[in-house]
Amino acid sequence: MTDAIAGTGADQALKAKHRKMWALGDYPALVGDLIPGLGAVLVRACGVKPGERVLDIAAGTGNAAIPAAMAGADVVACDLTPELLDTGRRLAGRQGVGLTWQEADAEALPFGDGEFDTVMSCVGVMFAPHHEAAAGELVRVCRPGGTIGLLNWTPEGFVGQMFAVMRPYAPAPPPGAQPPPLWGNEEHVRTLLGDLVTDVEARRASVEVARFERPEAFRDYFKTVYGPTIAVYRNIADFPERIAELDSALVGIARQHGCGTGRSIMQWEYLLVTARRSG
């Protein structure tokens, strides 16, 4: 992102809104409850090695950053929301893992060109609103020949479909913002990275989620715990009929993806991409 765009009042207001949204609810609990091993999948795919300098962008509580540090890397975990970093710092401390936690905007990273051997993001950078800006930054801070690794929810998978269900009830996105699940579309990611990378490998896989016995339990959990869902409900708080519609829609999408009576296993699809920085 250019300094002119990054410094606009509108962009600063948008980032403040995102920062506040991710502090709602209890995202750290969601990560621990539903996707605790997902970051390690990305770390393994990136082939992180001892002594490497690694940056985890939009790291949240360190779902990928902590496993990278446990692999012996020198890790920086950055995120827009300081509350998530604080939780990650405590989690790492309990495990005796040392890494650096730094507040940062994925679209205007405070790091030098080519500073890291591996630059990665696990269901994080996909929520930066300006995709080209975020992609340019993650490539910029990776050294030539270094590894770029991305794990993002697909548009067709459960999380992507959940966002599609919530979209009509959310505030209209600002000009230039793109939907997060596009980062789970291989063609979109290849276009974003373009000739800045080589050796692109992409595959789809799924994480199993077996927490919810009923679709209503899924809905109520996300209404309480997940910041984006909480924010959407707040947007329609004065419209009971809209709340009822969204309640029903979330139950419906959960049921379509295998959440039924009794302990169900849902498959949440993601796209895993690795590449080499050109140059």
- Please, what are the domains in the chain? 3-208+268-277 (3.40.50.150)
Residue 4, pLDDT > 80, answer no
Q: Is 211 helix (H, G, I), strand (E, B) or coil?
A: coil
Count CB neighbours of 107 within 10 A: 25
Tell me: the pLDDT tens digits for 19-73? Answer: 999 999 999 999 999 999 999 999 999 999 999 999 999 999 999 999 999 999 9
Confidence of residue 264 (pLDDT cuts 50, 70, 90): confident
For the chain, the average pLDDT equals: 95
Residue 263, pLDDT > 80, answer no
Residue 80, pLDDT > 70, answer yes
Alpha helices per DSSP H over 24-157:
27-34, 38-46, 65-70, 82-94, 131-140
Confidence of residue 186 (pLDDT cuts 50, 70, 90): very high
User: pTM for the whole thing?
Assistant: 0.94
Check: CB of residue 238 under 8 Å from CB of residue 166: no
Q: Which residues contact 218 (CB under 8 A, 6 or more apart)?
A: 212, 250, 251, 254, 259
Residue 7 is predicted with a pLDDT of 54
Residue 5, pLDDT > 80, answer no
Tell me: the pLDDT tens digits for 155-174? Answer: 999 999 999 999 999 999 88
Q: What percent of the chain has pLDDT over 70?
A: 96
- Mean predicted confidence (pLDDT) in 239-263: 92
- Mean predicted confidence (pLDDT) in 139-153: 98
- DSSP designation for 112: -
